[in-house]
């Protein structure tokens, strides 16, 4: 019996069934929102309950079901109206929305034998790959459409990590026709010509007289991400200097390719969190001197190693290409790290405090708005410093006064003690130069019981090595020497004389030593 005659349905009546309730949109009847039980196509209502079309219609008209056979015929006719027949099964030639399939497929990918879905992390808002089973796609979209989605979704042999900010490619062809998925993430900024005065103000504050060198550092980060760079160490014993703001600005520029690090993360053997990233910044230092020593050794290895074993919990380590650059912020101007006189891996900048007016403004938000303009300017800027070595900059370019201060305080205890004693004597006697020989310098150390205080023996060889590091040479001929010893009880110095091979120790050399 015809449905319209049985239930006196007009076109309006059919529309009522399609809507289920007046509040329900037609999209509720799309295949993805229906479940089929036997011969009945069930439809979800606004109350989240499932109804057959007839039940929905009758409920909306407050009528009760009649003859079951009549309902069966009615259900078949309504099923045909909804694009379903053959006992509730989908038609094979149902209309397929190709644009919808392409949209869904673009968020899926297969790497090796595993399927992934791209989605933004709700906390970080960064695009992340989540594991998903192919059967889940088929269940969600139906067998026919699900298989079509899986067929057109991109497929890769394996993952690779090739950084690029200007000519980024997500799909990498190895030249033999094999495709690899690039896990390095593109930047979200489009370089555009414009004003970036807030960024310039921040960078001039951080780099001071080395502003042009700082701009070159950032240009290398942006245009040559594979090139190694020295550790940028920002120090200041003051608060409100903008060090943290600078790190957050770098994070905003390089997006998912930059990340914060802690001493614990750096020292951990499970390093897959940061291996393969462009930039890591540390805003706190290890408290214990032994931990700091371990962290320092790890950092120095990171900035120069071309490859590192990438290791995750429960997985075998894999060799990965390393191009991580490190920025460290510290409130310790003297011993944030241990730096040897010949070390070329640290570029140390002392950062002054921001003015009260500058500190009160939210400069970071303004800087973020200007990033597209800054990147445009960076691309069109000429390099000021030519490459000198594997870390680009020459040692004399990165050996700042702040660097020298840390080097002095990184020396062995005997060297530090002897330096301070000699400077104290010079200040007390108002002298710019002192005269000693090896014997009298050892006598000075013995006089002040340095051996007991430092719990080590002091030999002529120890003193000779210190003098060699200071660049002080012994005269070849013996002459009269006026030297000073210090009373261990009252701390006052007094002069003595003898004949020996003179050592001239200059005050300026001790204070401003370039090593």
Check if the beta carbon of residue 242 is closer than 8 Å to that of residue 404.
Answer: no
Checking 447-453 for CB contacts under 8 A at 24+ apart, the result is 447/485, 447/486, 447/487, 447/488, 448/421, 448/486, 448/488, 449/488, 450/414, 450/417, 450/418, 453/417
Angle at 204 between CA 201 and CA 209, to 5 degrees: 160
Q: What is the pLDDT along the chain (515 residues), one digit of tens a residue?
A: 334 443 344 444 444 444 433 333 333 344 333 433 333 445 555 555 555 555 555 544 444 445 445 555 655 555 555 444 444 344 343 455 678 888 888 999 999 999 999 998 887 777 889 999 999 999 988 888 889 999 999 999 999 999 999 999 999 999 898 999 999 999 999 999 999 999 999 999 999 999 999 999 999 999 999 999 999 999 998 988 999 999 999 999 999 999 999 888 888 888 888 999 999 999 876 555 556 667 777 888 888 888 888 888 878 888 888 999 999 999 989 888 888 888 899 999 999 998 876 665 689 999 999 999 999 999 999 999 999 999 999 999 999 999 998 988 887 788 888 888 899 899 889 999 999 999 999 988 888 888 877 777 888 898 998 888 888 888 888 999 999 998 877 778 899 999 999 999 988 878 765 44
Check if the beta carbon of residue 422 is closer than 8 Å to that of residue 433.
Answer: no
The token pair at 260 is 């914060």
Q: State how beta strands 258-261 and 231-235 pair.
A: unpaired
* Number of Cβ within a 10 Å radius of residue 284: 14
* Phi-psi category of residue 446: left, alpha or beta, with phi > 0 → left and psi -120 to 50 → alpha: alpha
Give tens-digit pLDDT for 330-348: 998 988 888 888 889 999 9
Global pTM value? 0.68
Contacts (Cβ under 8 Å, ≥6 apart) of 391: 228, 229, 230, 303, 304, 344, 345
Burial of 483 (0-12, 13-18, 19+ CB in 10 A): buried
Check if the beta carbon of residue 493 is closer than 8 Å to that of residue 486.
Answer: yes
Q: Which domains does the chain have, with CATH numbers?
A: 3-90 (no CATH), 98-182 (no CATH), 197-408 (3.40.50.300), 411-511 (no CATH)
Check if the beta carbon of residue 261 is closer than 8 Å to that of residue 231.
Answer: no
The token pair at 303 is 């900035």
């Amino acid at each position: 019996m015809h449905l319209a005659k049985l239930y006196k349905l007009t076109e309006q009546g059919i529309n009522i069934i399609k809507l289920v309730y007046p509040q329900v949109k037609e999209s509720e009847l799309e295949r993805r929102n229906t479940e089929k039980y036997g011969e009945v196509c069930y439809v979800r209502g606004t109350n989240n309950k499932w109804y057959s079309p007839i039940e929905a219609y009758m409920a909306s008209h407050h009528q009760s079901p009649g003859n079951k056979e009549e309902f069966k015929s009615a259900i078949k006719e309504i099923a045909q109206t909804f694009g379903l027949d053959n006992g509730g099964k989908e038609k094979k030639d149902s209309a397929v929305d190709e644009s919808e399939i392409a949209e869904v497929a673009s968020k899926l990918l297969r790497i090796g034998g595993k399927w992934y879905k791209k989605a933004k992390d709700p906390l970080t808002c960064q695009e992340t790959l989540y594991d998903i089973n192919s059967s889940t796609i088929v269940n969600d979209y139906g067998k026919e459409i699900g298989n079509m989605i899986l067929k057109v979704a991109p497929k890769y042999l394996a993952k690779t990590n090739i950084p690029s900010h200007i000519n980024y490619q997500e799909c990498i062809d190895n030249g033999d026709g094999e495709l690899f998925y690039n896990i390095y993430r593109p930047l979200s900024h489009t370089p555009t010509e414009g004003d970036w005065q807030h960024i310039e103000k921040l960078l001039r504050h951080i780099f001071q007289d080395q502003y042009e060198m700082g701009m070159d550092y950032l240009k290398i980060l942006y245009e040559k991400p594979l090139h190694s760079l020295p550790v940028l160490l920002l120090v200041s014993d003051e608060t409100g200097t903008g060090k943290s703001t600078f790190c957050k600005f770098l994070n905003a520029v390089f997006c998912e390719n930059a990340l914060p690090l802690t001493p614990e993360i750096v020292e951990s053997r499970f390093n897959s969190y940061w291996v393969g990233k462009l930039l890591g910044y540390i805003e706190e230092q290890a408290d214990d001197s032994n931990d700091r020593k371990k962290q320092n050794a790890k950092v120095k290895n990171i900035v120069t190693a071309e490859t590192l074993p990438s290791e995750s919990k429960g997985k075998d380590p894999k060799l990965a290409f390393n191009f991580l650059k490190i920025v460290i912020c510290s409130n310790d101007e003297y011993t944030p790290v241990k730096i040897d006189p010949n070390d070329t891996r640290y570029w140390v900048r002392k950062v002054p405090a921001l003015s009260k007016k500058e500190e009160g403004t939210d400069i970071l938000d303004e800087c973020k708005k200007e990033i597209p303009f800054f990147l445009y300017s960076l691309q069109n800027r000429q390099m000021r410093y030519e490459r000198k070595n594997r870390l680009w900059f020459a040692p004399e370019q990165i050996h700042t006064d702040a660097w020298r201060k840390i080097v002095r305080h990184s020396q062995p205890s005997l060297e530090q003690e002897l330096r301070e004693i000699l400077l104290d004597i010079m200040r007390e006697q108002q002298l710019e130069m002192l005269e000693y020989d090896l014997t009298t310098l050892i006598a000075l150390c013995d006089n002040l019981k340095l051996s007991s205080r430092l719990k080590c023996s002091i030999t002529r060889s120890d003193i000779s090595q210190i003098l060699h590091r200071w660049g002080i040479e012994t005269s070849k001929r013996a002459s009269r020497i006026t030297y000073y010893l210090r009373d261990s009880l009252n701390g006052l110095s007094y002069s003595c004389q003898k004949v020996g091979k003179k050592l001239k120790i200059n005050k300026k050399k001790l204070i401003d030593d370039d090593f």
